[in-house]
Amino acid sequence: MWLKGATPKDVQPHRGRLVFASKGKHMRLLVIEDEPRISEMTKAALERAEFVVDAVHLRGDAREALANTSYDAAILDLGLPDGDGLSLLVELRRDGNQVPVLILTARDAVEQRVLGLDAGADDYLVKPFAMSELIARTKALLRRPGGALGTTLQAGNTVFDTIGRDVSIAGVPLQLPRRETAILEHLLRRQGRVVPKSVLEDKLYGIDKELESNAVPVHVHHLRRRLQEGRASVEIHTVRGVGYLLVETKG
Ligand code: CA
């Protein structure tokens, strides 16, 4: 399933000009909520908090979005017009999708809340809720181990602090452009596993909507060079036609 969207292109030599985006974090969230007012307010509030937000109203659209895009977290309303949010969650977890999920439940539905957590939700919020709380809870979710914020990621001598977004190699700071930082972060999170090129493209879209078709190979090329120059004990391998893999080198 994770091969979906992979293209047979391989690394191309560096040619393009590079313009580095200057603002915004690039966590990408999916809001699954059918009530237009809540959806709009939620999206706007999260965007003000510098998240990149996609909003869908139907369970079917959510399923498609989650299959095609790598989200850092999802906010899931349980009552959707074309089905139950809970069964979507069950389906996701069954397919091995571990995206952190915060469910939105009606005020008195204690049972629904418990079912949601049992089904693999990471947190819940009771409607009506304050936007400030939604943002705080979402950030907390991203900070958990395995979440997208607030942990130190390490492979060999290469350490990435996800709070400061600083990279160091054997304790020496390594300056990286934002997009290379995003790629390194994602490869570190999935170290030892192949990350499809399409997933890395998604990460870059969060930073810059205008992406050249060879952006990922170009950034990986630079990142590799910088890691090598900094004597990192990690390597990024190209898996032809699929994506990239970060591994620790021996010795
Ligand atoms: Ca609803």
pLDDT on residue 70: 85
Asked if 34 contacts 77 with a C-beta cutoff of 8 angstroms, the reply is yes
Distance from the alpha carbon of residue 84 to the mean position of ligand 1, in angstroms: 9
Place of tokens 């560096």: 14
Range of the domain at 64: 3-143
Phi, psi of 226 (to 5 degrees): -65, -40
- Specify the DSSP class assigned to residue 128: S
Domain final residue pick, 81, 114, 143: 143
Domain final residue pick, 93, 118, 143: 143
Average pLDDT of each block of 10 consecutive residues along the chain (251 residues)? 35 30 62 96 94 96 91 93 92 84 78 77 88 91 66 85 85 94 89 85 78 90 97 94 89 56
Distance from the alpha carbon of residue 175 to the mean position of ligand 1, in angstroms: 45
pLDDT on residue 97: 80
**Distance, CA of 249 to CA of 251 (rounded, Å):** 7
**Distance, CA of 158 to CA of 87 (rounded, Å):** 40
pLDDT on residue 68: 87
Distance from the alpha carbon of residue 97 to the mean position of ligand 1, in angstroms: 23
Total-model pTM:
0.53
Distance from the alpha carbon of residue 101 to the mean position of ligand 1, in angstroms: 16
**Distance, CA of 134 to CA of 131 (rounded, Å):** 5
Distance from the alpha carbon of residue 46 to the mean position of ligand 1, in angstroms: 19
Q: What is the CATH number of the domain that holds 188?
A: 1.10.10.10
Q: How many domains would you assign to the chain?
A: 2
Q: Which residue, 206, 51, 26, 30, is CA-closest to 104? A: 30
Same domain, 114 and 183: no
53 three-state secondary structure:
strand
pLDDT on residue 146: 58
Helices first, then strands: H and E counts in the chain = 8, 14
pLDDT on residue 77: 94
Distance from the alpha carbon of residue 124 to the mean position of ligand 1, in angstroms: 14
How far separated are the first and last CA of the chain, in Å rounded? 34
174 three-state secondary structure:
strand
**Distance, CA of 43 to CA of 36 (rounded, Å):** 10
Same domain, 193 and 218: yes
**How far from chain centre, in Å, is Cα 236?**
19
Domain final residue pick, 99, 121, 143: 143
Same domain, 160 and 111: no
**How far from chain centre, in Å, is Cα 205?**
11
Distance from the alpha carbon of residue 129 to the mean position of ligand 1, in angstroms: 14
Q: What is the CATH number of the domain that holds 102?
A: 3.40.50.2300
